[in-house]
A and B are shown apart, each in its own frame.
Chain A
Amino acid sequence: MSVSYTSILWNKQKKAYDIGIVICVLSFTTLFFVGHSVLHPNATFETILIRNFGLLAFLLLHLILIIGPLARLNPKFLIILYNRRHLGVTMFLMAAIHGVFSILNFHSLGDTNPLKSVFLSNLQYNSLINFPFQVLGFFALVILALMATTSHDFWLKNLGPRVWKSLHMMVYLAYAMIILHVVLGALQNETSPILSGIVLLGFLVIASLHIVTGLKEGSNDMAIDDAKSDFVRACNTSEIKENRAKIVTVSGERVAIFKYEGKLSAVNNFCRHQGGPLGEGKIIDGCITCPWHGYQYRPEDGQSPPPFTEKVETYHLKVEGDEVWIDPKPLPEGTLVQPVTINNG
């Protein structure tokens, strides 16, 4: 909802969030360095540094990946989701320290360009166990760099929400490469089954949370697929709570039908900011407010109130008795549709 951009928007709750991130990073790092000086005094400083930041990035990535499903299971965690980009940028910085120091340590001051050496030192690309695991880490770091550097709303607007979202969905590809990077790298040296077990557990937690929330979301959707007919039955008015919405799927698009002040309006469910589910939002001060980042749209025309410029598609509705009917054909973004009145509120 940018008119003019700010570098980083900090308010009280964002500051509290960032303090949480800083405490996470500092407590782990302090423990790791002090722990090594006591338990492993022979470890060199660079080794501790590389391991500390590699592990921190790996652990923070797990936290980042469970936030999405967590917020779906319990909306109270939206507060964590909203500032996830700060956690993401922090995670990238940790990964970058790990990557840069590893390249400096293992590949610099040699007979080959350090970055070329990452790809050319170990050439066993056809082997699984001997695979050059650093290459996987490098590509994952590139993805994380793309995500971190485009996390500002400027990029969301100028790359377009769909491109931006697909770029940021690449976090799952990065996660897969990082898991392989760890399994084919660190776990080849660190042979304790406890560590392999933890990596497996982390993967299982993330995978199952995503599957559970995916199934839950799927069952919430009511698909009405009849694009040819003029109006299709969507739901009953009593199914929608005041100032809230019911999400239905018509012609493959998810549509949110909002009820407010004895009226009904329907808009496309996809928030133009980051694709948040508008139908899980609420009408605040007369505007549909996205649960993810608070972007707002007027229910009757799907437009963000001026000076903002975001628009979503709107739909024609009609009410017959208690039944709500929807015209599956979307109207162009920002088209004004008179809200339909519910007979007995």
Chain B
Amino acid sequence: MTNFISIAVDVFFVYLLIGLLFSAWFALAGARKLDNGVSGTPWHFKLIIIPGAVLLWIILLLKLIRKR
């Protein structure tokens, strides 16, 4: 069990790390592709969606792929 937990935590960190990279791109460019409402929003709006994008990047990525 110790090994399993250890690996699970590592996976969680990797997930968040990818989320961090994804969220930076998402805030700058990706969000606009998913939702027209994002165009022309100020920088603080983009900042507000970053934490959610770090946690839920996988859903956003799937939605973006499906949209394309």
* Chain A interface residues (CB < 8 Å from chain B): 2-8, 113, 115-116, 119-120, 123, 125, 145-146, 148-150, 152, 154-155, 157-159
Contact = CB atoms under 8 A, between A and B. Distances in A.
B62 to A, nearest CB: 11
A150 B57 CA distance: 12
A119 B9 contact: yes
B52 A149 contact: yes
B34 A119 contact: no
Interface of B: 1-2, 5-6, 9, 12-13, 31, 34-35, 37-42, 44-45, 47-49, 51-52, 54-56, 59-60, 63
Contacts of B42: 7
Contacts of B49: 152, 154-155
Contacts of A152: 48-49, 52
B39 A158 contact: no
Contacts of A4: 37-41
Contacts of B9: 113, 115-116, 119
Contacts of A7: 41-42, 44-45, 47-48
A131 B33 CA distance: 46
Sorted nearest first, the 10 A-B pairs with minimum C-beta distance are A149-B52, A149-B51, A7-B45, A7-B44, A119-B5, A150-B52, A116-B9, A2-B37, A5-B41, A5-B37
Contacts of B34: 158
A3 B56 CA distance: 23
A150 B13 CA distance: 20
Contact of B37 (A123, A150, A157): A157
A306 to B, nearest CB: 14
B24 to A, nearest CB: 15
A3 B52 contact: no
A187 B6 CA distance: 29
A120 B40 CA distance: 47
Contact of A158 (B12, B41, B63): B63
A145 B52 CA distance: 8
Contacts of A150: 52, 56
Contacts of B5: 116, 119-120
A158 B35 CA distance: 7
15 contacts: A2-B37, A5-B38, A5-B41, A6-B45, A116-B6, A123-B2, A146-B52, A149-B51, A149-B55, A154-B38, A154-B48, A155-B49, A158-B34, A158-B35, A159-B56
Contacts of B60: 158
A3 B1 contact: no
Contacts of B44: 7
Nearest to B44: A7
A145 B39 contact: no
Nearest to B5: A119
B39 to A, nearest CB: 7
A8 B48 contact: yes
Given A115-B9, A154-B37, A123 B1 contact: yes
Contacts of A149: 51-52, 54-56
Nearest to A153: B37
Nearest to B31: A154
Given A154-B35, A154-B37, A154-B45, 5 more contacts: A3-B37, A4-B38, A115-B13, A116-B5, A125-B1
